[in-house]
Amino acid sequence: GQRLDAKLQFLKEMAAAQKPENEDDLLAAFDTPKKRAAIRADTDRRWTIRAAITADMAVEDRTIPGRGGPIPVRIYRPETGEDGPLPVLVYYHGGGFVFASVRAVDRQVRLIANAARVIVVSVDYRLAPEHPFPAPQDDAEDAFLWAHAHAASLGGDPARIGVGGDSAGGHLALVTSLRQRAAGRPGPLYQLLYYPAVTLDQGDRSYALFGEGYGLDLAFINVVTRLAFPDPASREAPATWALRESSLAGMPATIVATAGYDPLRDQGRRLAERLETDSVSVVYLNYPSLTHSFLNWSGLIPDANRAAHETAALFGQAIRSRAVAAADTDRRGGE
């Protein structure tokens, strides 16, 4: 059996002593611009201080064009000692589509860039409820298309571009890949998905086991679903929820990382199983002692730090070897 990390168990017990989350109270926390600004500022502060500090690197803030207006991005270039262009990861933060930012995930993105030895383009997509579906999804896709077109100018390799994200950001990475597949355009070479949101269905056993008191409560999930997808029809839009697709054939090779004490654990596992069934190369890693959002805890929880480094390093190796395999296939096809 699995055992919750001792520090996370302490935090769980502290949370249990407080009033359980109520959907009406959560909705009220987002009902005015002032309240939303306060909760977002608090999230940025808390997430930043919990993640591990890693080696410094060149960081640049830019604004890129998007169909819904300018999109802020933060670009990370680690010191790798390698000659030539680096792989690129377009990264989407979590936060239930309603909070967090490139600032909130700054440390965790630095860790990923360093451990994977890749350039990272971290995307400050628009948030709900001000900008519900499809605004975040459109920004995510536009950022990928921009990175694909401008990779060389960033010092990156346009043939080695991946997408990744945590939680809601994992959803955005998947949507970006699904949309490229549907449009017949070149898509990402690889996906790095941390505890991704891949379905709105709550029938998994992990929802019943860990839906309250483990850092991601069902009340919060229900509220952000209403805020981010206010039109029920949008919850069934094509190329939006990976597990609703009839087939995932042709999707990028993928790493799926889940946490043992996370209501989203089982849907992440089901995604990995579907990818494998549809002949997509996939690595599934479950970290049994951890909870949802473990990337945020890499500075305080040793198991979270190990998980963050292991998954990022694996992504860096995988996207490099995947590119070599693709190039070999192209060469053989031309013989």
Q: β-strand 253-261 against 282-291: which pairing, if any?
A: parallel
For residues 227 and 30, give the distance between their C-alpha atoms in angstroms, rounded to a whole number.
9
Active site residue: 122, 167, 206, 293, which one? 167
Element (H or E) spanning 301, and its range? Answer: none
Chain-centre distance for alpha carbon 75? 16
Active site residue: 262, 289, 293, 303, which one? 262
**Per-residue three-class SS string for 306-322:** HHHHHHHHHHHHHHHHH
Whether residue 302 has a cis bond before it, omega within 30° of 0: no
Q: Enter the DSSP assignment of 89.
A: E
155: left (phi over 0), alpha (psi -120 to 50) or beta: left
What Å distances lie between residue 290 and 5, 104, 214, CA to CA?
6, 20, 9
Active site residue: 93, 171, 292, 309, which one? 292
> 120 has which bridge partners?
76, 89
Which amino acid does the sequence have at 222?
N
Helix (H, G, I), strand (E, B) or coil at 26: helix
Q: Which of 150, 245, 144 is nearest to 189 (CA)?
A: 144
Q: Is 148 a catalytic residue?
A: no
Q: Is 167 a catalytic residue?
A: yes
Residue bearing tokens 């591990």 = 52
Q: Is 206 a catalytic residue?
A: no
Sign of the C-alpha dihedral computed for residues 83, 84, 87 and 91 taken in this order:
positive
Helix (H, G, I), strand (E, B) or coil at 187: coil
Whether residue 158 has a cis bond before it, omega within 30° of 0: no
The catalytic residue positions are: 167, 262, 292
